[in-house]
């Protein structure tokens, strides 16, 4: 039996996590964002903080300085010859595949759309919004300092784009990579939730 999986890729500040949680609740699916990171950390021995940061702080060369070692669990630091960023990606990919084999789910980020590209019941979503609206959200809802909100937004988006490009070989915002792209500046949070719910029911059929 193949379970239904919705993957959500997103620009920073679009409200994607809230959207994902609400979609999962409406459809009765599992929701995986922080939970995925926790599962990957337990499986790998890497710290949750380090794994969470890999997606948002990827440089163009994807080489981190030695300061990243502070995020690595000390008892596993020297156990593997594989670069630690690659280990983090691979263990997350393993967890994503495990999730897809466990039950219906909504997975946010982590290149899940690529990892599960051959999954028979997959809906790939990309969420974006106008820069001004995203800046307003990260200031008002995420508590970001207005003075550096725009630079933080750009840095995180760039990190996500680099991470996706490095591990998938494709551009993060290429619309052909997704089944549905949603502008939350137009739809709002609830509009995006209902659009994804409708798309999922159209593709997978309504849950009984």
pLDDT for 189 beyond 80 = yes
Structural domains in the chain, sorted by start = 5-202 (3.40.50.300)
What tokens does 62 get? Answer: 């994807």
Q: What angle do CA 180, 183, 186 make, to 5 degrees?
A: 130
DSSP, residue by residue, 120-162:
SSEEEEEEE--HHHHHHHHHHTT---TTTHHHHHHHHHHHHHH
pLDDT band at residue 59 under the 50/70/90 scheme: low
191 and 14 Cβ atoms separated by less than 8 Å: no
Q: Are strands 122-128 and 30-32 parallel, antiparallel or unpaired?
A: unpaired
Q: Which residues contact 170 (CB under 8 A, 6 or more apart)?
A: 114, 164, 177
Helices 48-56 and 149-168, packing angle to 10 deg: 90
Q: Which long-range contacts (CB under 8 A, 24 or more apart) does 100-104 make?
A: 100/3, 100/5, 101/3, 102/3, 102/30, 103/3, 103/29, 103/30, 104/3, 104/4, 104/5, 104/27, 104/28, 104/29, 104/30
pLDDT tens, 77-100? 434 456 777 888 888 999 999 999
Residue of higher predicted confidence among 193 and 70: 193
pLDDT tens, 144-157? 999 999 999 999 99
What does pTM read for this prediction? 0.85
pLDDT for 139 beyond 70 = yes
pLDDT at 85: 79
pLDDT at 61: 46
């Amino acid at each position: 039996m193949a379970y239904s999986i919705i993957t959500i890729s997103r620009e920073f500040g679009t409200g994607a996590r809230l959207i994902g949680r609400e979609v999962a609740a409406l459809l009765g699916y599992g929701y995986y964002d922080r939970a995925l990171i926790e599962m990957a950390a337990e499986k790998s021995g890497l710290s949750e903080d380090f794994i969470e940061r890999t997606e948002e702080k990827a440089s163009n060369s994807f080489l981190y300085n030695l300061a990243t070692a502070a995020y690595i669990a000390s008892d596993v630091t020297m156990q593997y010859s594989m670069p630690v960023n690659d280990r983090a990606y691979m263990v997350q990919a393993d967890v994503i595949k495990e999730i897809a084999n466990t039950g219906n789910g909504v997975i946010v980020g982590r290149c899940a759309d690529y990892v599960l590209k051959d999954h028979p019941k997959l809906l790939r979503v990309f969420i974006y919004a106008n820069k001004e609206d995203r800046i307003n959200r990260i200031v008002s809802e995420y508590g970001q300092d207005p003075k550096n909100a725009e630079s933080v937004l750009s840095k995180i988006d760039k990190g996500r784009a680099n991470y996706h490009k490095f591990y998938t070989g494709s551009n993060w915002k290429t619309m052909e990579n997704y089944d549905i792209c949603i502008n939350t500046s137009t739809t709002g949070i609830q509009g995006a939730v209902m659009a994804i719910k409708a798309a999922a029911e159209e593709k997978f059929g309504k849950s009984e």
